[in-house]
Amino acid sequence: MRKLFWLLVAVLVMSAALAQQTRLRVFVGGQQRPDVMRKIFDLYQSKNPGVRVDLEVGGATSDQQQQYLTTVLASRDPSIDIILIDVIRPAQYLASRWADTLDKYLPAASRQNLLRQYLPAYSQANVINGQLVALPGFADAMFLYYRADLLEKYGFRPPTTWDEAIQQAQTILQRENNPNLNGIGFIGAPAEGTVCTFLLPVWAAGGDVTNAQGQFSLTVEQAQRALQFWVGLMDQRVSPPNMAEKPQDTIRSEMQAGRWVFGTMFAYAWNRFQNDADSQVKGRIGVVPLPAFAGGRQASCLGGWQWTVSDFSRNKAQAHKLVRFLSSPEVSKILAIDASNLPVFPALYRDPDILRVNPWFGQALPVVQAARARPQHPRYAEISEVIRVTTNQVLARQKTPEQGAREIVTRLQAIYGGR
């Protein structure tokens, strides 16, 4: 009996020690609704009394955050435990040993089950070389926004192929005779979005940068056809000649003022179109997946943000618990309702509470399901630079599509070849 008593005391003492305060520090970008995040962390704290979660808010662009995090993580700073990273980063984080993979906490079978619940693109985007680097936080994709009122006026259904889209745009432009109206808006400035601009036609034709085995498979023909496609839009006057100047938000702003028939943008544009006070297109915008080419498939560019644990964290076990919580359906629902973030769980797109606040999520689901990831590679930053700068130069007529295609393929081959 005595032994049992002391055993109980020992257990109690140990659990008291274990229930010591753990402080976790989470880094998010300024654009990720720190107020909503704070609410979610408070919820977690109430369920886990031994844990305090602090929020560190960084700059609002992926670049600003990466700049800061590079300095911090390259110095092996242990002060940050959890980071919200862009979907293009997991491969680099793994190679740089910045992320503590989740596999040790998830035996293979449960990992399978967990990943199956998410949108398929995310289970792919976060598993690099067989290792689970991060869990999805919220989703994003590139949509084809269109002026539903204009299409209806001319009896068009939303296009499923690019040829359709071009025809519709040309017809509308001709009949409307509005000098300020343009046809198909796409991202041309050398920012990250232009990587999507280049890849969309490649995907739409059935190709990709790498094949299913992960080997480099982009050909000069595919690249050339993709570049030629966008240049062709400018040649045919479906898009104006200065597309190389336009970052995503300028397209959004112009479409909001009613000056585009079609536009390719990420999900954030929807809320601006619907809720901005000076929006000229409230209630007149629809979304569909981006069109295909004959023989290809409709594809969209995947975005979204993922939760990862820093390899320098001193509280990895607790951090992992929090990450599991943050990538759970419960949190996904809060983010959908409070921050209008697209959920990473397909089931939630039919959730009535969510649809009440964001009725358009029903239309968004097929787009997100058709989304494809940009190349996953530790040297993604270089890959991105090659693609976006060269595409921009081709759009600015500094290089021909053929020259641009050769340059892209040659330089990407060097990167994939390890040089």
Partner 1 sequence: MIQPQSRIRRSLGDLSERALAFWLLVPAALLLGLVALYPVGRLLYTSLFRRRLTDETGNSPVFVGLDNFVQAFSDERFWTALWNTLLIVLVTVPGALVVGLGLALLANLPFRVKWPVRLGLLLPWALPLVFAGLIFRWFFDSQYGVINDVIVRLGGERLLWVTTPELLFWAICLSIIWKSSSFVALILLAGLQVIPRELYESAAVDGANRWQSFWRITLPLLLPAILVAAIFRTITAFQTFDIPFAMQNGGSSFETLAMYVRTMSIENLNFGYGSALAVLMFLISFVVTLVYLRYVRGADD
Partner 2 sequence: MKWDHPRIWLWVAAAIVVINGFFPAVWILLTSFKTEGELTRIPITWLPDNPTFQNYVQAFTNAPIMRYFLNSLIVAGGATLLCVFVSALAAYALARLRIPNKTLIFSLLVGVSMFPTVTLLLPLFEMVLALGLRNNYIALILPHAALSIPVATLVLVSFFQGIPKDLESAAMVDGCSRLGALWRIVVPLSAPGVFTASILAFVNSWDEFLLALTLMPSQAMRTLPVGIQFLQGEYSFPWPLISAALVIALVPVALVIAIFQERVVGGLTQGGVKG
- Binding positions for partner 1, rule: CB under 8 A: 63, 66-67, 70, 74, 92, 95-97, 189-192, 242, 244-245, 247, 378-379, 381-382, 385, 388-389, 392-393, 395-396, 398
The answer to whether 247 contacts partner 2 (rule: CB under 8 A) is: yes
In the complex, least distance from residue 403 CB atom to partner 1, rounded to whole angstroms: 14
Residue 385 binding target from partner 2, partner 1, none, CB below 5 to 8 Å by type: partner 1
Should residue 29 be labelled a site residue for partner 2 when binding is judged by CB under 8 A?
Answer: yes
Residues 163, 164, 170: CA angle, nearest 5 degrees: 90
Site string for partner 2, 284-303 (x = CB under 8 A): --------------------
Listed ranges 114-122, 125-133, 245-253, 366-374: which one lies at the site for partner 2 (CB under 8 A): 245-253
Q: Is 317 in the site for partner 2 (CB under 8 A)?
A: no
Is residue 385 near partner 2 by the rule CB under 8 A? no
Q: Judged by CB under 8 A, how many residues of this single chain contact partner 2?
A: 35
Residue of the chain from 276, 338, 382, 385 that contacts partner 2 (CB under 8 A): 276
Query: Any residues with CB less than 8 A from the CB of 156 and at least 6 apart, and which?
Result: 168, 171
Burial 102-132 (b: 16+ CB within 10 A, else e): beebbeeeebeebbebbbebbbebbbbeeeb
CB of 301 to partner 2, least distance (A): 14
CB of 77 to partner 2, least distance (A): 6
By CB under 8 A, tell whether 30 contacts partner 2: yes
Residue 277 touching partner 2 (CB under 8 A): yes
- Using CB under 8 A as the binding rule, whether residue 57 contacts partner 2 is answered as yes
Closest approach, Cβ 378 to partner 1, in A, equals 4
Query: Which of partner 2, partner 1, none does residue 61 bind (CB under 5 to 8 Å by kind)?
Result: partner 2
Q: Using the rule CB under 8 A, which residue among 180, 212, 283, 295 binds partner 2?
A: 180
Nearer to partner 1, 112 or 398 (CB): 398
SS3 of the chain = CHHHHHHHHHHHHHHHHHCCCEEEEEEEECCCCHHHHHHHHHHHHHHCCCEEEEEEEECCCHHHHHHHHHHHHHCCCCCCCEEEEECCCHHHHHHCCCEECCHHHCCHHHHHHHHHCCCHHHHHHHEECCEECCEEEEEEEEEEEEEHHHHHHCCCCCCCEHHHHHHHHHHHHHHHCCCCCEEEECCCCCCCHHHHHHHHHHHHCCCCCECCCCCECCCHHHHHHHHHHHHHHHHCCCCCCCHHHCCHHHHHHHHHCCCEEEEEEECHHHHHHHHCCCCCCCCCEEEECCCECCCCCCCEEEEEEEEEEECCCCCHHHHHHHHHHHCCHHHHHHHHHHHCCECCCHHHHHCHHHHHHCCCHHHHHHHHHCEECCCCCCCHHHHHHHHHHHHHHHHCCCCCHHHHHHHHHHHHHHHHCCC
User: In the set 117, 160, 253, 393, which binds partner 2 (CB under 8 A)?
Assistant: 253
403 scored as a contact of partner 2 (CB under 8 A): no
256 touches partner 2 (CB under 8 A): yes
- Report in angstroms how near the CB of residue 341 gets to partner 2 at its nearest: 12
235 binds, among partner 2, partner 1, none (CB under 5 to 8 A by kind): none
Pairwise CA distance, residues 322 & 304, whole Å = 19
Closer CB to partner 2, residue 148 or residue 181? 181
Q: Is 59 in the site for partner 2 (CB under 8 A)?
A: yes
Could you say whether residue 258 binds partner 2 (CB under 8 A)? Answer: no
Q: How far is the CB of 184 from partner 2 (least distance, A)?
A: 18
Q: What angle do CA 167, 171, 174 make, to 5 degrees?
A: 140
Tell whether residue 381 is a contact of partner 2 (CB under 8 A): no
Binding residues for partner 2 (CB under 8 A): 29-31, 56-62, 64, 67-68, 71-72, 74-75, 77, 79, 180, 247-250, 252-254, 256-257, 266, 268, 276-279
